Amino acid sequence: MSDRFANMPDGPFAQLNTLLEGVQPGQDPIMMSIGEPQHAFPEFVSDVLRAHEKDYGKYPPIIGTTPFRDAAAGWLARRYNLPPEVLEPDARILPVNGTREALFNLALVACPTEKAGRRPAVLMPNPFYQCYASAAIAAGAEPHYIAATAENGFLPDFEALDSDLLARTAMIYFCSPANPQGTVAPLDYLKRLITLARAHDITLVIDECYADIYDKEEPPGGLQAALELAVPTSGAASGDVFDNIIVFHSLSKRSNLPGLRTGFCAGDKALINRFRAFRNIAAPQTPLPVLAAATACWNDDAHSAENRARYQVKNDIAERIIGNRYGFYRPAGGFFLWLDVGDGVAVAKQLWADAGLKVLPGSYLARDDAALADKNPGARFIRLALVQDEKTVEEALTRLTNVLS
């Protein structure tokens, strides 16, 4: 068998299962470890799937349907206040089977075999989504984990990296709102990141799957930031307003449809075209009934607003119960709490044994960094997913504070 993935990070949930093996939950279990939305998905989705069920008998095109691409472009225009004409849905938007497979497969297209005469590097925040690291390894690149800690506002300082590393960097994976910290990258940060990527001919991949789940203010996006910059005219740039940028969006969180496996990517026209050619050979198509349901979801903002309001209520509950303990702050985006409990592994085991709460140790989402005092930037933390109903979340957080007090 191939040894290519010998250095692939261990899956966090497999590590959690090993940690809790043989430990009986102290109370009826409440699962807060996995970010799987438990809210109801829109009622119209089932109706649309039934109405298009005969289309399961057809091979779907890899580019999806015109109504799907138009709906995705329409949502981008509304959500980020973008001029519709710049989005060119037939050239810039591509459906994907949930964003994870496409985030992985993109590295096979965007990573050259060499850059600056050496093995290419792929940068990502630390903590990170394991898919990013696995994609880098699959593409023959070297993953580099850039610390996202409280000291830098959980926003990795890519600009501080040495020029030698940046010269051989092929891709940067970045997530905003961030998982697990809930940090939202300001527009100025995104513009500086785009400028850095273009200066070093790096593909910037921005994972925006939590874009419609936010607490107070709409998180800005990568395409929005690019439009506020001058169109690149030098270097490897083609003069495309979205040069070097590709963003990913999903209905898993926005519409509570993780099992539908549908999303899209958008941005750099040349990269989308090359990715489309690759996907036409090697990637899964999205079934036509799924595309029809997804089209209806992207065309409807009301259900997303109702969904967001429920998460805001749960942030209220968390703020009331936890207060200023464990480094609590209201996440600006997403639905995770990132709590500083001193020893995430020990506390995760204690919460399961004493309270029946299954939470994820932060160290399982990160890699050791010798430059940090705690070595692993997630070591002190636990991640809690506020995906259950409001009553269950209140019960879970009450148990947590009772145990940790």
Inform me whether the pLDDT recorded for 233 exceeds 90.
no
What does the radius of gyration of the chain's CA atoms come to, in whole angstroms? 21
Return the pLDDT at 237: 61
Q: pLDDT per residue over 260-299, tens digit each?
A: 999 999 999 999 999 999 999 999 999 999 999 999 999 9
- Whether 3 shows a pLDDT value over 90: the answer reads no
* C-alpha–C-alpha distance, residues 335 and 385, integer Å: 6
pLDDT of residue 185: 98
Domain ranges of the chain: 12-40+303-404, 45-301
User: pLDDT confidence of 6, banded at 50, 70, 90?
Assistant: confident
Does pLDDT of 5 surpass 90?
Answer: no
**pLDDT band, very low/low/confident/very high, at 335 (cuts 50, 70, 90):** very high
Residue 283 token pair: 């990637």
The residue count for the chain: 405
Tell me the pLDDT tens digit for each residue of 119-144: 999 999 999 999 999 999 999 999 99
Average pLDDT on 230-252 reads 83
- Determine contact, residues 213/331, Cβ cutoff 8 Å: no
CA 177 to chain centre: 8
Which of 307, 310, 340, 304 lies closest to 325 in space, CA to CA?
Answer: 340
12-40+303-404 and 45-301: identical CATH topology: no
Looking at domain 45-301, which CATH architecture does it have?
3-Layer(aba) Sandwich (3.40)
Mean pLDDT of the chain: 96
Q: At 235, is the pLDDT very low, low, confident or very high (cuts 50, 70, 90)?
A: low
Cα angle at 101 between 378 and 77, to 5 degrees? 90
Query: First-to-last CA distance in the chain?
Result: 49
Q: Which residue do the tokens 């995430």 mark?
A: 344
Q: Which of 379, 250, 398 is nearest to 318 (CA)?
A: 398
Task: Give the neighbor-by-neighbor strand order of the sheet with 142-147.
Answer: 93-96, 263-267, 245-250, 203-207, 169-175, 121-126, 142-147
User: Domain 12-40+303-404 has what CATH class?
Assistant: alpha beta
With beta carbons less than 8 A apart as the criterion, state whether 124 and 145 touch. yes
Q: Which strands make up the sheet holding 360-361, listed edge to edge?
A: 336-340, 381-385, 360-361
171-to-92, 147, 202, 232, 279 alpha-carbon distances in Å: 19, 17, 5, 18, 19
